[in-house]
Chain A
């Protein structure tokens, strides 16, 4: 017979109260596990979608020449300089430490040319990457372009009075307009887009690039790190993070996280009250028993050990059950909220330990006052109550 046996026997005796205590904690732990797991999954999902929605890093050549404005960003000079970016720089970007965080690399060669007597801006693009980056593009006609095909922005289409399937000449080479990009409200409206290889050939700038737009998945990586790593790989380039884009993305991501955190706190406080009420009532009911413990010479430490061990055991069981329920609930809820049915929520031993620890903390903290009360009980009053 030891103090732990007494606690275990006591728990077995008051099965319904123990079950109520465990259920209260299970509800709290499972709710918090579900909220946090779902929040993290949805955040990642939202972050991934947002990260792929436009660039958050722009790489341009270091240049002292007059700058060219593109989409509100200052990029390197259009004319050839010693510092001009090259195709091989794309490979260098793919070698940085955080390369797994990079989702899209969209290189561009920008140049001006005369089309039908009017000065126009032509962009050589990697069309697949560009379309991934600019998911908002709505194209009348064909979206993808092959050799000798071009996409045109709405403003330039109106300015040059271009129609679909019309052939336009860029530096004497013919291109068929296969798609017209609906108004985007950006620089893209005034541009003609052709394949990057074609543009490099047409403008005699083989292997050369004007800028590279990068979309980095930065839910759990510091964007500044990626900028630094890229700058180290491309010492002759200016690597700039588009702060406004990043901050708006992070605000969107963190809003759900803050909501989940707030709700978790409310649930935890409620569960602490449940545990407190349960343990406090148990102490009141056990007044005579505690009196007997005192009469036979149990110290405050002995009485504290019995009560805390009872709560500890209940919390431990509740922590594990709550975690498992939370994970299964997340498996149901997360795919619905993130609109991604392929999501898989794994049981993670590290999170299981945290959930169990959380349950233990709630249980033990909520029992401190009832334990204090038990130790302050006057046994004489306890015996008189019977």
Chain B
């Protein structure tokens, strides 16, 4: 049994009178320590696949099991808690809250945690140190470069020590050198035991992954 099991996943979007099949009857299995690159052209369904696997978007059909738990069988709030504990999301546009500092952004997933304030800050500083931003904790995020902002986003995704990291085009807004350092960071995290799934249409990313899944027109083609 694989750590992540995706069975017959279908996601249909309805826009006015038309409906679009973003992913169509997709099945896949991903192991606990795997680094998987999800490749394919724009609009092929790879981002929808990622958000569905992460429990953010409910599928029209099919199941997603993580560690043998059917995540869409959970109620909305239990699924939110599950996401907080098990999954870290990283986006192309970073999606940091610009009105908060680096430290405050990283602390966001710990808002509902039972940890004491001091423990939360220690944890935050440890993660920031890991991504090389320990000196920038008090800075506002828009004072940072794109690469640094993506590192903040990675730190935010890591602060709860999730088992799975889901990254949607994490180097899309970065220059190639910064992109490379971010991918190396993902590789290190995978080496530490995290399951990393990276969506990209950049073929250069593929070499960091142990395995690639190719999407075309909402279906896995390899």
Contacts and interface: CB of A to CB of B under 8 A. Distances in A.
A2 interface: yes
Given A13-B99, A288-B95, A297-B83, A379 B51 contact: yes
Contacts of B97: 6, 9, 289, 292
Interface in A1-19: 1-3, 5-6, 9-10, 12-13
A172 interface: no
Given A9-B99, A9-B100, A380-B56, A1 B107 contact: yes
Nearest to B124: A1
Count chain A CB atoms within 10 A of each CB in B85, B91, B95 and give the residue with the most. Answer: B95
A380 B48 contact: yes
A378 interface: yes
Q: Dominant SS at the A interface?
A: helix
A143 to B, nearest CB: 75
Nearest to B157: A296
A383 interface: yes
B21 to A, nearest CB: 14
A1 B99 contact: no
Interface string B75-102: 0110011111101010101010111100
Contacts of B109: 296-297
A299 interface: yes
A258 interface: no
B56 A297 contact: no
A17 to B, nearest CB: 13
Contacts of B84: 296-298
B111 A298 contact: yes
Interface in A283-316: 288-289, 291-302
A199 to B, nearest CB: 85
Nearest to B107: A1
B108 interface: yes
A130 to B, nearest CB: 74
B54 interface: yes
B57 interface: yes
A379 B57 contact: yes
6 contacts: A1-B100, A6-B111, A12-B99, A295-B91, A297-B80, A301-B77
Given A3-B111, A380-B56, 7 more contacts: A1-B110, A292-B95, A294-B83, A296-B156, A297-B84, A302-B111, A380-B57
Interface of B: 47-48, 51, 54, 56-57, 76-77, 80-85, 87, 89, 91, 93, 95, 97-100, 103-104, 107-112, 120, 156-157, 160, 168
